[in-house]
């Protein structure tokens, strides 16, 4: 709880002092996802596309200057309109997300407190409370630990428009896009292979690099180049003929109609 209190105190002090830089994120326009960089850099457990989409749709409804409500309603209509799927598919996606999200966890890394494994949702959340029968809506209830990374963000955060990731059909593409947004000021992401695997939620999967390259990296880059307006190149860093890191270079193909979110993340 000490870590939670520290985050809350820091956020409140920033709000009281006016030292907050989310004015662009609150200006009228498309819905935006705002996360602390600790949440962006977290190691995910396995998470499916429909779960990722549901979480992001909920986060995009939040005002980072206000407290996170106990429940965030996501209707099937909202899901269908955002992700361009049929109403039937939207209903099914919300049911699938409700079945799986109660058990999903992630690990955040704090420079002072070290790694902490947290749940996305409140304790004792059940599929029935997330998606009441016949309701046609998902009711997200973020855990207190996650809430601290979604509100009171004055620095060290990343923000992007929800519509920029809506066309993406892979959770790996979404996660890579988030990492790119965090480093958009440099246009370069340098990351160890171990960190990359953790942030993509790949523990126990694609152990051989050739399969990781084929099924995760290449597919995500192909989709991002096609749908996000980015030009991306990458290379593997080797040590004793073993891949130990990755370097991605990316840039907007054109400033006009750019797909990459432009928000401060100092």
Place of tokens 């993340």: 265
Q: Has residue 24 got a pLDDT over 70?
A: no
Beta pairing partners, 250 = 232
Strands annotated E in the chain? 32-36, 43-44, 72-75, 105-110, 114-119, 137-140, 157-161, 188-192, 230-239, 242-252
pLDDT of 252 > 90? The answer is: no
* pLDDT the model gives residue 153: 77
Reported confidence tier of residue 9, pLDDT bands at 50, 70, 90? very low
- Confidence category of residue 65, pLDDT binned at 50, 70, 90: confident
User: Above pLDDT 90, what percent of the chain?
Assistant: 69
Residue burial 196-219, b: 16+ Cβ < 10 Å; e: rest: bbbbbbbeeebeeeeebbeebbee
Cα 59 to Cα 16, 106, 179, distances in angstroms? 23, 16, 17
Q: Which of 12-21, 54-63, 193-202 has the lowest mean pLDDT?
A: 12-21
Residue given tokens 């939620």 in the structure block: 201
- Gap between the terminal Cα atoms of the chain: 26
């Amino acid at each position: 709880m000490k870590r939670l209190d520290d985050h809350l105190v820091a956020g409140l002090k920033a709000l009281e002092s006016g030292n907050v830089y989310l004015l662009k994120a609150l200006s009228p326009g498309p819905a935006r996802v705002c996360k602390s960089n600790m949440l962006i850099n977290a190691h995910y457990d396995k998470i499916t596309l429909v779960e990722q989409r549901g979480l992001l749709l909920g986060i995009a409804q939040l005002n980072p200057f206000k407290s996170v409500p106990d429940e965030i309603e996501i209707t099937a209509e909202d899901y269908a309109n955002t992700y361009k799927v049929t109403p039937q598919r939207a209903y099914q996606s919300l049911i699938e997300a409700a079945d799986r999200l109660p058990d999903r966890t992630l690990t955040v890394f704090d420079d002072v407190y070290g790694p902490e494994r947290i749940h996305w949702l409140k304790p004792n959340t059940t599929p029935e409370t997330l998606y009441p029968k016949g309701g046609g809506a998902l009711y997200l209830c973020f855990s207190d630990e996650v809430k601290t990374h979604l509100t009171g963000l004055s620095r060290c955060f990343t923000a992007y428009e929800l519509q920029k990731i809506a066309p993406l059909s892979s959770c790996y593409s979404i996660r890579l896009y988030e990492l790119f947004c965090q480093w958009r000021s440099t246009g370069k992401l340098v990351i160890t292979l171990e960190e990359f695997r953790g942030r993509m939620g790949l523990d126990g999967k694609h152990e051989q690099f050739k399969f990781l390259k084929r099924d995760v990296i290449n597919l995500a880059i192909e989709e991002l180049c096609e749908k996000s307006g980015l030009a991306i190149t990458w290379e593997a860093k080797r040590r004793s003929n073993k891949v130990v890191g990755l370097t991605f270079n990316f840039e907007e193909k054109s400033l006009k109609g750019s797909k990459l979110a432009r928000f401060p993340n100092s």
